[in-house]
Structure 1
């Protein structure tokens, strides 16, 4: 059975956290710490303009000796981030995350952010799918498929 991004969002929820490009990196980090998340989306009104991650912070602030209170998210964010739609499958998203080394991908349709999926969401979905397959096979081998 193929699992879609829609199913992932329906299960985990559509919540995401966003900051504005004019917010300081410190403000973005505060949101990330408050909600124990690894990234924030960067929006201008309702429009997605970027993503800011822990990796961006480590490579673009810490290593360059910048002060997070003095730098704007818009100066360091990843502009025009890769996005997926609800119709993408877990396998497609996992392949993209692996190839491009992403850990977070916004879900966008008709220029509207619907949520975000993470590598953790993908792994959890794949493990659940494999567990269901194993149980199905165990029942099949035991001859009690009618018990399902």
Structure 2
């Protein structure tokens, strides 16, 4: 199947989230239980951050903090970059590559409705995008 938009890709997929007041231990349980690498962090309906496996390792475990006592708010990435549900996959891919991260919350009308990860983007899209960037860089070098 060829996906044209992020919405088509995540259709029917639930948003996995955690509250900012919950603990890292709960984050780990949800990451494991849902088989995902990141969760949206919500205060009510408002997206306030994202918490990933990498955040847990670097901001909690590596610093010797207790997962059972560390609140999500102190380890999350606040105000994450997001994409809109109607955006194309190339938009999500570019945002992830430019920002050096693997997960993006998906928004609709100002509310988080899903999460997209690098592994969700088909290999063909990633390869085409890489070739496009290489061609653009080569063209810019010729013009310089």
Structure 1 equivalent of residue 33 of structure 2 = 34
Structure 2 equivalent of residue 133 of structure 1 = none
1:13-24 aligned at under 5 Å gives the runs 13-24=12-23
Question: Number of residue pairs matched?
Answer: 126
| Residues 35 and 119 of structure 1, relative CA distance in 2, 3 Å threshold | same
Q: How far, CA to CA, are the matches of 1:123 and 1:99 in structure 2? A: 18
| TM-score normalised over the length of structure 2 | 0.80
Structure 2 equivalent of residue 80 of structure 1 = 79
Unmatched tracts of structure 1, length 5 or more: 130-148
| TM-score normalised over the length of structure 1 | 0.78
Deviation at residue 41 of structure 1 after TM alignment: 0.9
- Is the CA contact (8 Å cut-off) linking 1:14 and 1:114 kept in structure 2? no
Unmatched tracts of structure 2, length 5 or more: 129-144
Structure 2 equivalent of residue 5 of structure 1 = 6
Deviation at residue 7 of structure 1 after TM alignment: 1.6
- Is the CA contact (8 Å cut-off) linking 2:18 and 2:40 kept in structure 1? yes
Larger radius of gyration: 1
Q: How far, CA to CA, are the matches of 1:79 and 1:29 in structure 2? A: 18
1:1-148 aligned at under 5 Å gives the runs 3-10=4-11, 13-123=12-122, 126=125
The CA RMSD measured in Å over matched residues stands at 1.9
Q: How far, CA to CA, are the matches of 2:105 and 2:85 in structure 1? A: 10
Q: How far, CA to CA, are the matches of 1:55 and 1:48 in structure 2? A: 19
Q: Once superposed, which parts of structure 1, at least 4 consecutive aligned residues long, lie more than 2 Å away?
A: 123-127
Q: Secondary structure at the match of 1:22?
A: coil
Q: How far, CA to CA, are the matches of 2:17 and 2:87 in structure 1? A: 23
